[in-house]
């Protein structure tokens, strides 16, 4: 077990040494490539930082009108929502019925507790 651990440690050391050698070669090749390129310093941002693009008033208006047309078309094709499809609303009759049921339930609970 200890010999296997030692073997793994030696393999790891060898691989790290090999990686360091490869990294050094990569750095050397990159430096040679950068020396030969005409824009070595400006390779990352050749034209400087990007400018913020703004939209013209005409373009904003066209987008707004297009969205209004699309939403109007969607409203025409979708069926209108009925009062019953709205969540969380009760009719007056439903509220009375629910109240009567709850009163009966609590009365039965009080009677059961008394007995």
**How confident is the model over 5-39, as pLDDT tens digits?**
888 889 999 999 999 999 999 999 988 888 876 65
Question: Which residue would you say has higher pLDDT here, 90 or 110?
Answer: 110
What is the average per-residue pLDDT within 102-112?
A: 95
Q: Where are the domains of the chain?
A: 1-36
Q: How many residues does the chain have?
A: 115
In three-state secondary structure terms, 89 is coil
Residue pair 43/34 in contact (Cβ under 8 Å)? The answer is yes
Residue pair 83/89 in contact (Cβ under 8 Å)? The answer is yes
What's this model's pTM, rounded to 2 decimal places?
A: 0.30
Write down the pLDDT at residue 114.
87
- C-alpha span between 71 and 17 (Å, rounded): 64
The residues near 83 (Cβ < 8 Å, ≥ 6 apart) are 89
User: For residue range 62-88, what is the model confidence (pLDDT) as tens digits?
Assistant: 999 999 999 999 888 877 666 556 667
115 pLDDT above the threshold of 90: no
């Amino acid at each position: 077990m200890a010999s296997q651990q030692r073997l793994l440690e030696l393999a790891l050391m060898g691989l790290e040494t090999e990686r360091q050698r490869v990294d050094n070669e990569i750095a050397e090749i990159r430096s040679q490539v950068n020396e030969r390129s005409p824009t070595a310093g400006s390779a990352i941002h050749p034209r400087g930082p990007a400018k913020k693009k703004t939209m013209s008033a005409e373009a904003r208006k066209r987008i707004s009108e297009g969205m209004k047309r699309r939403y109007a078309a969607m409203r025409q094709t979708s069926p209108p929502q009925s009062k019953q499809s709205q969540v969380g609303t009760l009719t007056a009759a439903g509220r009375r019925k629910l109240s009567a049921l709850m009163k009966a339930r609590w009365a039965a609970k009080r009677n059961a507790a008394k007995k």
